[in-house]
Amino acid sequence: MTTTEQITQARDAAELEAIARRIREQIVRMTHAAQSGHPGGSLSAVEILTALYFGGVMRHDPSDPDWSERDRFVLSKGHATPVIYAALAEAGYFSADWISSFRSLGSELQGHVVRGRPPGVEMSGGALGMGLSFSVGLALGHRLDGRKARVWCLLGDGELNEGQNWEAAMSAAHFGLDRITAIVDRNHFQNDGAGTEIMRIEPLAEKWSAFGWGVHEVDGHDVGAVTQALCAARETDGAPQVVIAETVKGKGVSFMAENPAGWHGKGPSDAQLAQALEEIHS
């Protein structure tokens, strides 16, 4: 069995930034190849996934994806598959050659997450608002089994419009599930436009606190700061924790960031791919 020290080994800041660039590149490449997918909300979460998988935050073992003592990462915003597929490929869960098959018939890399396909995916998703409830179930199961594994759940800020999230938040605090950390990708946009126009969720930090959660706020594109916030959440006992990561939808690709709702769910053209790759690596 791989040791905990090996599993949680952290990369330095320069290495994490290089990994984030490679993940961004894979996101735009796979959505270009499929001419579909969800690049905007995947690009906003790149530093979050980079910190979790490569920053020494989460215990996981690509050589043994079903290791019983692993931490679980739950992608509640289940349409943002490009970012989780790119991170898993980067970590070695499967070959990067699979990336070009994204959203194609029979591919392991479908448009919404499917548990176990590819290895490393913990929950089947697509309909929003379910991931935190699923995480509560995982954490309760771990407690019954006497496991020390943590559960990390990535939520979109748009899906916080779903009431089920707040039922799950209330139950996690009630049951004292301090091995759950929720992460809010606070990019301010969803499929139909700006979150403030569709359903305001502010004051967000105060809401989580009122539900009994410890709250950490961070610049979601400073990978070092994200890593520190996640580690602080991990080390805090007594209550579930939430990290609110302030992000930009389409981060790293100018034309996506300038039109975030327009790039919620489509792939770039050949010319746009070339521009995106140039910007990502500039």
pLDDT score, position 126: 83
- Among 282, 271, 266, smallest CA distance to 36 is for 266
Provide the CATH number for the domain around residue 201.
Answer: 3.40.50.970
Number of domains in the chain: 1
Q: Report residue 184: phi and psi, to 5°.
A: -100, 120
157/192 Cα distance (integer angstroms): 13
The residue ranges of the chain whose pLDDT is under 50 are: 1-6
73/274 Cα distance (integer angstroms): 32
pLDDT score, position 193: 94
pLDDT score, position 1: 35
pLDDT score, position 127: 87
Q: DSSP code of 109?
A: S
Contact yes or no for 23/83 (Cβ under 8 A): yes
CA dihedral 254, 255, 258, 260 (to 10 degrees): -110
Burial class (CB in 10 A: 0-12, 13-18, 19+), 261: middle
The model's pTM:
0.96
For the chain, helix, strand, coil in percent to 5 are 45, 10, 45
Q: Which domain holds residue 23?
A: 4-280
